[in-house]
Amino acid sequence: MPLLSAVKMLMRFSDTSLLDDISGNQFKVKGDDSVISLDSTGIQLKINQYLYMDNISLGVTNNLGIGFWLYSKHPGVTDQNGTPKNMQVSVLDFGIGSFDTVEGDVSITTQVVRIYEEAQVDGTMKLVFSMPSNSFTAKTESYTANKRHYFWIAYNGSTLKIFVDAIDNSISTSGSVPSSISASTVILSINRLSSSGNILNNNGVLDDLIIVNTFVDSALSMQNIVNYSLDMVFNTDYASIQEADLPLLFDDPTPIRINDTFSDGPTVLVARNDGKLLQGSSLVWDVRRDFSNKGEQDVSNVFGSDIGFEDNYLRVKNGIIKL
């Protein structure tokens, strides 16, 4: 699973400022230590690899916000008869636990949050937010795979919302929204196979992951994150900024140059670089210099790659004269 922006992960706590990355903490790789660097913008995990970060002090009790861009790839798994199968696809999870150096794997004693995708048989995907220790699950409506989507999960102890592409999604839930969340010190994993059964590593791309202990659920905030950046919502310097836009639409014409002209009294013959020979009033031409054909008369179906005048004779090269 590629992760862009060098796995830029932003965390914000009530008593700290927004950090561009986790100071003092680094993601570690489970499995083969070598990952593929993507031109310093991110890393690509190999199969069976995941990232983890332990001893993270989230300090979350009642308010939680998780946001990320995800290029969603449908795994396309079928059974032996070619029938598509519903599969879980890992995204991230965090829980109370540690990294077991003997087993060489993250060991979770209390799974606080699991986020995964659910591949549908019709080729779409759904995002699932689960709080296993509270037996609560929320699932989005289907969204299109092979596209980059923005997800925002907002929780405040009584309400759970999932925004997909800035719009409050009509989620289906199982269980009751937990009144609190135990996420004081956790271990965070990305792309870990966090359950047994039909779960696969993610083959998509994760970007701009943010976890905050703030409940953010306004449509305007979602629009600002999606259209602009996280700074527009979480950086106080940007809090009161607005931007108004005016797209302008227009066609660019081919610039017409005049190769040659021949004036014969009241009229002028104009040889253009697009191979056309036109006749018009010299006064109109001199004044208007319009690059359209409007009002000018094509002369006798003469066309050529090079049209001009020599010694008062018409010169046509690589062209035709239709009789």
Partner 1 sequence: MSISKSDIKFYLTSATAGVKQTNYTQSIGGYSANVNGNISDSLVYPETTLATDVSLYGESLALSSYTDLSGKTFLSSGFEIIKVDSVSSNSVSVSQRSKNGLKAAHLSGDVVRGLATESIFNDRFDDDLKQYRCLAIKNTNSTYHAYNVDVFLRYNSRNPNSVIRIALEQPRNDYITGSIASGTKTKIIDSSLKGSFDDNHFIDSNLIMTSGSNINQERIILSFDSSTGEIVLDSSLPNSASNGDTFKIEPAPAQRVSSGIVSPTFGSGRVTPLRMADRDNPLQINVTGDRDHGGDLRPNDVIYVWLERRIKDEANSFDENSTVLAINYYTVE
**Is residue 283 near partner 1 by the rule CB under 8 A?**
no
**Is residue 226 near partner 1 by the rule CB under 8 A?**
yes
Of the candidates 87, 90, 109, 89, the residue with the CA atom closest to the CA atom of residue 99: 109
The interface region with partner 1, picked from 8-16, 103-111, 130-138, 242-250 by CB under 8 A, is 242-250
Task: Tell me which of 36, 47, 77, 241 binds partner 1, using CB under 8 A.
Answer: 241
Cβ atoms 233, 216 nearer than 8 A: yes
The conformational region for residue 141 under phi > 0 = left, psi -120 to 50 = alpha, else beta, is beta
Nearest residue (CB) to partner 1, 16 versus 227: 227
> Can you tell me the distance from the alpha carbon of 194 to that of 183, in angstroms, rounded to the nearest whole number?
17
Residues 125-184 that bind partner 1 (CB under 8 A): 143-144, 147, 149-150, 164-168
**Is residue 272 near partner 1 by the rule CB under 8 A?**
no
- Site size toward partner 1 (CB under 8 A) is 37
Nearest residue (CB) to partner 1, 45 versus 145: 145
Cβ-based neighbours of 81, under 8 Å, separated by 6 or more: none
Residues 81-120 that bind partner 1 (CB under 8 A): none
The interface region with partner 1, picked from 13-21, 98-106, 219-227, 299-307 by CB under 8 A, is 219-227
The interface region with partner 1, picked from 59-67, 106-114, 216-224, 305-313 by CB under 8 A, is 216-224
**Roughly how many angstroms between the first and final C-alpha of the chain, as a whole number?**
67
> Are β-strands 42-44 and 183-190 bridged in parallel, bridged antiparallel, or unpaired?
unpaired
Of the candidates 215, 147, 216, the residue with the CA atom closest to the CA atom of residue 181: 215
DSSP conformation class of 127: E
Task: Tell me which residues touch partner 1 (CB under 8 A).
Answer: 143-144, 147, 149-150, 164-168, 219-220, 222-223, 226-227, 240-255, 257, 289-292
